[in-house]
Amino acid sequence: MSGTMHADPRTVLESLIRAALRAADPAEAIHRHVRCEGESLLVDGATYDLRTWDEVRLIAVGKAAVPMAQAIAGLLGDRLSRAVVVTKYGHATLPAPHDAMTVIEAGHPVPDENSQRGGEAVCDALRDCTARTLVLVGVSGGASALLVAPHPGISLGTLRAVNDALLRSGADIREMNAVRSRLDRLKGGGLVRMARPAQVVGLILSDVIGDPLDVIASGLTNDPYAHNVLVGNNTQACAAVAEAAGRLGFAARVITTMLQGEARERGREIARAVLEGADASLVPCCSIYGGETTVTVRGKGKGGRNQELALAAAIEWDTLRSAGQLTGRGDYALAALGTDGTDGPTDAAGAFAFADTVQRARTMHLDAGDFLDRNDSYTFFNHLGDLIMTGPTGTNVADLIIVLRWGN
């Protein structure tokens, strides 16, 4: 590819998003680490002789719970005696693959009555485990809200209020889950303790920066008595984007998989970096960021962290253009999205930002800065037709920001 990009930038970004989601496919993640050979279940180097267990139970929780459960059930067949699957509304897009499987859809990002129903179902499935019970637990992002089993004296209303306050506070996922784990019987390793003396194997698809087991899903299986295996994460998705962009002729680089902090600040920084950073002389180039930012909600608008990041980036590019700092800088575009297909309390995964985003908004009498001030990024991008609408993806490995620059 020459210095001029021949394909529409939106088309290129969409192809890179598809590459990331393929790499984060939860069923493939399970199959990379778990397989059956005869009567043996092999899990990342450990061997479990299925003839020695009276029964095998399955718990799968999170936005990727259904495909993870399907993959595990497909391996076990009729050896699986009982299964409980809890996922987000709209994410149970595949049929339950096993007669012994109960599938519950629940609320996210704030827990609801079905979240508590899911917690009760999981507790019930673990209550009579013995030393001859093998419990496989598929864990993916979103489980902290989707599955709740509050300690006695703590109501669902209290949990909802705490979750809502945390989401609006700008707290990061570590801080939020540290609070959640203290309010719940299953979190903070409680699931493992409840299953004792059973053997618990945790199969974890990480949506948290750095993949800390005590933070992912509020540490459902974070206990020395569990065998925990990380089956997939954001790093794999970012690497897949870099590989796909390289095939298209871009000089591609993963800048970080540890992006965090206030979304609008990171958006401004990323917008400047593609023009002024270490790779600014490379054209065409693709810069890739993974992680999870936060939003301190001050307005009453509708949006999510990725939409807010994209809006801040678009405003920064417009500001630099107005200051005469973009002459000879070529063209550029950005996609910011949640890999689960949702961004905040919206039906969008994120948003696209282009060099002319704010200029196009002005022709529609839209003030981009006003929308940012009101945390109303969803409405802004909806007017422009620049929301990323993937629908539920069946996976969740945190967020991706993909930035392209091309031309002269």
Task: Lowest mean pLDDT of 106-120, 237-251, 275-289, 354-368, name the range.
Answer: 275-289
Q: Which tens digits make up the pLDDT trace of 7-18?
A: 799 999 999 999
- Note the pLDDT of residue 2: 43
Q: What is the mean pLDDT of the chain?
A: 93
More confident residue, 247 or 323: 247
What would be the CATH architecture of the domain defined by 9-21+235-406? 3-Layer(aba) Sandwich (3.40)
Q: Which tens digits make up the pLDDT trace of 368-379?
A: 999 999 999 999
Q: Which tens digits make up the pLDDT trace of 172-192?
A: 888 888 898 899 999 999 999
- Note the pLDDT of residue 368: 98
Exposed, middle or buried: residue 273 (CB in 10 Å: 0-12, 13-18, 19+)? middle
Query: Within 10 A of 149 (CB to CB), how many other CB atoms are there?
Result: 22
pLDDT at 364 over 70: yes
CA dihedral 177, 57, 205, 310 (to 10 degrees): -70
pTM of the model: 0.87
* Confidence band, pLDDT 50/70/90 cuts, at residue 325: confident
pLDDT at 4 over 90: no
Same fold, 9-21+235-406 and 38-232: no
Q: Which tens digits make up the pLDDT trace of 82-134?
A: 999 999 998 886 665 567 789 999 999 889 999 999 999 999 999 999 999 99
CATH number of this structure's domain 38-232: 3.40.50.10180
pLDDT at 352 over 80: yes
Q: Round to whole Å and give the CA distance between 370 and 380.
A: 10
Q: Which tens digits make up the pLDDT trace of 204-229?
A: 999 999 999 999 999 999 999 999 99
Task: List the chain domain ranges.
Answer: 9-21+235-406, 38-232
* Confidence band, pLDDT 50/70/90 cuts, at residue 275: confident
More confident residue, 278 or 234: 234
